[in-house]
Structure 1
Amino acid sequence: MKRLLTAVIALPLLIALIVKGSQPLFAAFILVVAVIGLAEFYRMALPGRKTEAVVASVLGAPLALVPLLSNPLLLPVLTALVLIAALALLFRFSDIRQAAQEWALLAAGLLYVPLLLSQLLLLKAEPFGECWILLMMLIVMSGDSAAYYVGSALGRNKLYPAVSPNKSIEGALGGLAGSVAGAFVAKLTFFPQLGVVDCIATALVLGVLGQLGDLFESLLKRSCGVKDSGTIVPGHGGILDRLDSILFAAPAAWWYAHFIFTRG
């Protein structure tokens, strides 16, 4: 019931933000999501580093806004963040044997959350940008739902039991079929500019990447010994639990929109 109520309330608000919201408003939303997502990542990966986690979350989240700035800023921003993380651990290590691992995890969080989230800003700035974001969401969500129901009904062969014991090969294939169906629903409703080839290509690529993103976050949670990344989304866990597929699918969606669709 919590999952249903959250979806009924949050999904229309999110769609309204994507479709009607200005680029600055959408960027502010992405910034907030990046802060929360980073905080969840560091809470899982570095539970004993609360101060560093807060500082890294606040300083690292603006990396998601780099697409709004001139591209030459990307290198110095990344460099500064890496140096800050290194200096924080140089003078605040608790166990010298863990210092290298902790530094790597601090840096990994910056690459995983805000850098991948920044692709959504690039995508929104494309022609039909709002449609592309909605298409990506529909592909991922329909694939996720189809994978669950097909896997529950027909799942026999485990997909990757070491990482996600409940997922099956049958469910994954059903998920891809659901993603294709979702892409054609988008074409028939809000994105008629898509061609048949566009529907199939984006559904398969984004559908596969969405499933891989879900598996990757499951890997992180199992490695950290947690069930959910957080509790901020009632009935759904944390922000990263809702974003895991989007983080992997968003870069490919932008690449397709920018390099293939606009030149087709």
Structure 2
Amino acid sequence: MLTLNKLYIISLAFATFVFCHPSLGQVKQTHFITGIGGSYVNVIDEGISPLLYKGIGGNVILGHFQEKENSINTSSAKFDFNNPSSSISNAEMYTYRLEGHYQRYWKLSDDANKSWKIRSGLDLSAKWALRQHLSFTNNSQHIETRFSVAPALMLARPFELWDRNFELGLFYSVPLLTYATRPLFASTRFPASVNKEEIGFFDYVRDGEIISFGNYFKWSTQYYLYYPFKNGNGLRLDYLWSYESYKAQNPIKTGEHSIMISTFFKI
């Protein structure tokens, strides 16, 4: 089992290579992304309750997209809020999630004349989640974090419709390695989640474990339809489906459907 210090050194070295290693080719376009959307989630978090919770919510997105001759780099931060409830107990909970992604895709040198563009890459992600059970007077809050490295694939299909250009595509990824924190039970109040009155940033990532297939599985697929404007800006409609399962002492399973609309501003 790797210690947190060793994990930090490995992650720092990997991130330095990914972010600082130069990409060949000139920048073709760069966009700043803003978006808003809605979602429907299913949650079984046995650290809080063995019952299935379902509910709707919303999200906001900020991101950056850069395309070069040989690669595509994207980064994004998304905040989600949901209000799932149990149809059996009629209990409710609030869920808050902050998730960040950095993705790099490499273009194939011979795909210029092909209808479908296939681009393989990597997805580095981090997630912080808080669940607040509204019916409990104690053990009502549950906080967890994830840091994942995943191979990723991007498929894109440019086409014309009504004399206008569009692009249809999808992204999907499956984490190979994840560093996860998973408390054994929920806490009564926010600081108590790490058993301290005053909490620091690294308190959320201590006492975690390195997990992979067998204990942890996540599948994410995101379909999109992109419409570029003549001025260089663009509009994109996304549908995201994801499933996550973590076989900890108190297992958790989540499923999500999300629809987002994003604006791409050329910078």
The TM-score range, normalised by the shorter chain, is under 0.3
Higher relative contact order (CA 8 A, sep 6+): 1
Higher helix content, 1 or 2: 1
Bigger proportion of residues as strand = 2
Larger radius of gyration: 2
Question: TM-score when scaled to structure 2?
Answer: 0.23
